[in-house]
Amino acid sequence: EAGVTQSPTHLIKTRGQQVTLRCSPISGHTSVYWYQQALGLGLQFLLWYDEGEERNRGNFPPRFSGRQFPNYSSELNVNALELEDSALYLCASSLGVGGPQETQYFGPGTRLLVL
Amino acid sequence: AQSVAQPEDQVNVAEGNPLTVKCTYSVSGNPYLFWYVQYPNRGLQFLLKYITGDNLVKGSYGFEAEFNKSQTSFHLKKPSALVSDSALYFCAVRAGSGNTGKLIFGQGTTLQVKP
């Protein structure tokens, strides 16, 4: 069974640009989560999508946004990139919510470098 | 506030010896606790979780963890360490008493297993 996949694996952008990261969940999983792993800041929760709806977002500015498609894949968009957005962006998926279904399985990540 | 603490930045152990990676938590309500491992330039791999039931949880690759409610701890253990266990380990707790989708991660502990 394929795991969570993310694309691209690496990305280099300049300040002020916009970027879109993509995530495909494990087959049968309906929830998708996004985290940012920045140097020195650890793993920070960004967004949670379930059944196509945004269910929760972390303490990030509105220029971080995303969506979930009918096939449960997801995009993370970051507008007006800043240097501190340089990080590994991790996507995770789960079967659903509540109890054992909530276990989040992570993809390999997209490493974003903003120059 | 909900939080997770991993008091050791690094743990060093000789191959074949038992290992322990410590984690303490602070949550309201019943905790959902997780351990993940991250190898260099990779995403997070799920090791094990505690949601309810037996306090000793067995997971992947021979790892286990003991939930201790009175000490609010969830230490990761393995009876005999392998060099290949060398990696970055994260403890996480589900935030909130309901379904928030958010995991709060500790800062991570680097495990170094020497031959």
**Residues of B contacting chain A (CB within 8 angstroms):** 32, 34, 36, 41-46, 49, 51, 90, 92, 94-95, 99-108
Question: Do B101 and A56 count as a contact with CB atoms less than 8 A apart?
Answer: yes
d(CA A21, CA A8): 7
Residue B43 pLDDT: 87
Q: Is B101 exposed, middle or buried (0-12, 13-18, 19+ CB in 10 A)?
A: buried
* Chain A residues touching B30 at Cβ < 8 A: none
Give CA separation, A42 vs A15, A68, B108, in Å.
22, 25, 8
Residue A1 pLDDT: 67
**Lowest-confidence region among A19-33, A39-53, A89-103, B63-77:** A89-103
* Other C-beta atoms lying within 10 Å of the C-beta of residue A39: 9
pLDDT at B115 over 80: yes
> What's the mean pLDDT in B13-34?
94
pLDDT at B31 over 90: no
Residue A70 pLDDT: 96
Q: Which residues share a beta bridge with B109? A: B89
Question: Do A104 and B46 count as a contact with CB atoms less than 8 A apart?
Answer: yes
Given the structure tokens 């920070």, which residue do they identify? A44
Cα torsion angle, B64, B75, B104, B10, sign: negative
> What's the mean pLDDT in A37-59?
93
Confidence of residue B85 (pLDDT cuts 50, 70, 90): very high
- Answer whether A40 touches B (CB < 8 Å): no
> pLDDT tens for residues B41-77?
788 999 999 988 889 999 999 999 999 999 999 999 9
Chain B nearest C-alpha distance from A23 (Å): 13
Q: Prior bond to B18 cis, omega within 30?
A: no
Question: Do B102 and A45 count as a contact with CB atoms less than 8 A apart?
Answer: yes
d(CA A18, CA A65): 11
